[in-house]
Amino acid sequence: MSTELSIVIPLLNECESLPELEAWIRKVMEKHQFSYEIIFIDDGSTDNSWQIIQQLSADNSCVKGIKFRRNYGKSAGLYEGFKVAVGDVVFTMDADLQDSPEELPEMYRMIKDEGYDLVSGWKQKRFDSFVKNNTSKLYNWTTRKMSGIQLNGFNCGLKAYKLEVVKHIEVYGEMHRYIPVIAHHAGFVKIGEKPVQHQARPYGVTKFGVSRFIRGPLDLLSIMFVSRFSKRPMHFFGLWGTLIFMLGFISALLIGVNKLYYINLGQIAPRVTETPYFYIALTCMIMGTQLFLSGFLADMISRNAPGRNKYGISQRIGLEDTLTESETLQRIQSIVQQTKTTAS
């Protein structure tokens, strides 16, 4: 029997909430008769979270776990969880009991019956601090304007994905906040949203920090740039380099024409270096040349990158998927073995 739901839960020092969360999820799954797996990713906890996960796994075969040697961050936890998930629909949720498992069946239905690639939770009523609430609103508004994706809660931890979505995106750094943007640029454009219940944290402390004020906007800019120009960096650097160089060149040309004009009139021409426009023109030509060369070098590196020709192919007709070197070797060995068996 195939697994219908995979629930990926990154955590850091959440030992108090884990037994209650697992029991809550199990109750919902049994009520709706889902086949499921819970994948806990211990992101370097210093409490006894891992021991709790081991005990839960011994009591419930649907519970699985991954333990990091140190704290790598939520994105790393999701990336590893996505790699091993096998459910038709993959969920992410936080381990602090603020996300309700009661939302999972309806989000599952939206993926399976309504054909969404991704369904994001929206915490209309939040039980967070004033600073966290208003910071999230600002980030959500900015992300909507920059990405064009009309979601109210980009950073909500409760999300549902088709399996193929999580297998075709790469989450790293602090990019977990903008997974809908990454998925959209990977070609998964049917993105929905569901208002979800949000609860006050009963145990532990929030992982929200001041550094999020800086990392959030920088991560969004990185996603927008990489998604548009990672395969063609010359289109960005070359364009701006050429425009800035031409601006400087035309400015220098006008300065030279102006000097010749004075000479032609028999007047004493002002020195070129006496005007600030000369230095502005020179700076523009230098900056333009540097940008153009940066684009040229980035394009050369991109053309030789291992993942340059990895694209999101949804279907194949009349073709087999490309085999890895190890799979090719195994197939050759299988054919040789079959030949020997036939000959004998």
Return the domain boundaries, the chain: 5-229, 231-344
Q: If DSSP codes are grouped into helix, strand and coil, which group holds residue 194? A: strand
pLDDT-derived band at 328 (thresholds 50, 70, 90) equals low
Whether the full predicted model's pTM is greater than 0.85, yes or no, is no
SS3 319: coil
**Mean per-residue pLDDT, 65-88:** 90
User: For 24-28, which contacts have Cβ atoms below 8 Å and span 24 or more sequence positions?
Assistant: 24/97, 24/101, 25/101, 25/104, 26/60, 26/62, 27/101, 28/101, 28/102, 28/104, 28/105
**Torsion angle, CA of 304/306/309/312, rounded to 10 degrees?**
-150
DSSP code of residue 16: T
Task: State which H helix or E strand residue 77 sits in.
Answer: helix 74-84
**Do residues 117 and 312 touch, judged by C-beta distance below 8 A?**
no
* pLDDT of the residue at 287: 92
Per-residue pLDDT band for 127 (boundaries 50, 70, 90) equals low
Please tell us whether the domain made up of 5-229 is placed in CATH 3.90.550.10: yes
Highest averaged pLDDT of the listed ranges 70-79, 101-110, 220-229: 101-110
Q: Specify the pLDDT at position 312.
A: 43
pLDDT, the chain, mean: 80
pLDDT reported for residue 115: 92
Whether the pLDDT of residue 213 is over 80: the answer is: no
Average pLDDT of span 306-331: 48
